Structures are given as C-alpha cells and as structure tokens.
C-alpha cells in the first residue's frame, strides 16, 4: 500500500491524534493516504468514529505492541 504522508502522534492523548490527522488530511489530495502512529489506546475507537463522521476511508488499523497504526484515505 502506498502511503503519501505519515505522522507520529506518539505520546499524545485524545483529541490530539485526531486533530493532527485532520490537519494532515487537509494537506492531501483526494484519494491520497495518511498513516498515523499513535500510542493512545482510545485512538482505535476515535479513528473509526472520525472516519464515519468525515467521510474519509479507514483502510487499516493495526496494533503493534503498545503502538496503534491507522491508515486513512482522504475522500
């Protein structure tokens, strides 16, 4: 999968990972992908809700140890 932009929000708690993702997505073209690295356990649920509310597509979520990886496609 091609990733167009990646941001690391490790150490940040809700709502900061979502806010940073929102800003990063606004800098992308429609169809481009954003990878977000987070350590906030609530981010799994937060990014699911964010994708539904904004219409951006949540392509993938992974948990690697204590790190959560989210991949979104801009609508």
Indicate the DSSP class of residue 62.
Answer: E
**Of 10, 65, 75, residue with least CA distance to 36:** 10
14 is catalytic: yes
Considering the candidates 4, 7, 12, 14, report the single residue annotated as catalytic. 14
**Of 13, 11, 9, 53, residue with least CA distance to 34:** 9
Contact between 72 and 47 (Cβ < 8 Å): yes
Give the residue numbers annotated as catalytic, written as ranges. 14
């Amino acid at each position: 999968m091609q990733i167009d932009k990646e941001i690391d929000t490790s150490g940040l708690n809700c709502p900061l990972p979502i806010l940073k993702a929102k800003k990063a997505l606004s800098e992308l073209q429609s169809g481009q992908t954003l990878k977000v690295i987070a350590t906030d356990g609530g981010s799994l649920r937060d990014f699911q809700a964010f994708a539904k509310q904004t219409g951006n597509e949540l392509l993938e979520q992974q948990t690697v140890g204590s790190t959560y990886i989210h991949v979104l496609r801009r609508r």
